[in-house]
Amino acid sequence: MNPLHIEPSMAAQGGFSRPILHGLCTYGLGAKAVVETCCDKDPHRISKVQARFTAHVFPGEKILFKMWKQEN
C-alpha cells in the first residue's frame, strides 16, 4: 500500500491536492472497458492489453478510454 493513494499529507508531498487513484485500478477499469466494448463481455476473447498512463486520476473523476482493434 502506497501512502500516496490514501494519505492526504503524502499526496501533498508528491505534489497532489489529494490522494490519487492507484494505477492498477485505472488499468483494471480500462481492461474492463475493452472486454465490454470489443469482446462481447467475454474476457476469454482477449489475449493482451496494453496501456499508457498519461496523467494522474483522482478518485471520483470520469475517465475517457480510447481503444482500437489491431490486426490479429
Is the pLDDT assigned to residue 11 strictly greater than 80?
Answer: yes
Structurally, how many domains does the chain consist of? 1
9 in a domain, yes or no?
no
Q: List Cα–Cα distances, 11 to 4, 15, 17, 54, in angstroms.
A: 5, 6, 7, 18
64 in a domain, yes or no?
no
- Give CA 23 to chain center in angstroms: 5
Q: List Cα–Cα distances, 68 to 30, 34, 37, 51, in angstroms.
A: 12, 9, 10, 12
8 in a domain, yes or no?
no
For the record, the C-alpha cell of 67 comes out as 481503444
- pLDDT, tens digit, for every residue of 12-31? 999 999 999 999 999 999 99
35 in a domain, yes or no?
yes
33 in a domain, yes or no?
yes
Q: Which domain holds residue 40?
A: 21-55
The pLDDT score that the predictor gives to residue 72 is 64
Count CB-CB contacts under 10 A for residue 24. Answer: 8
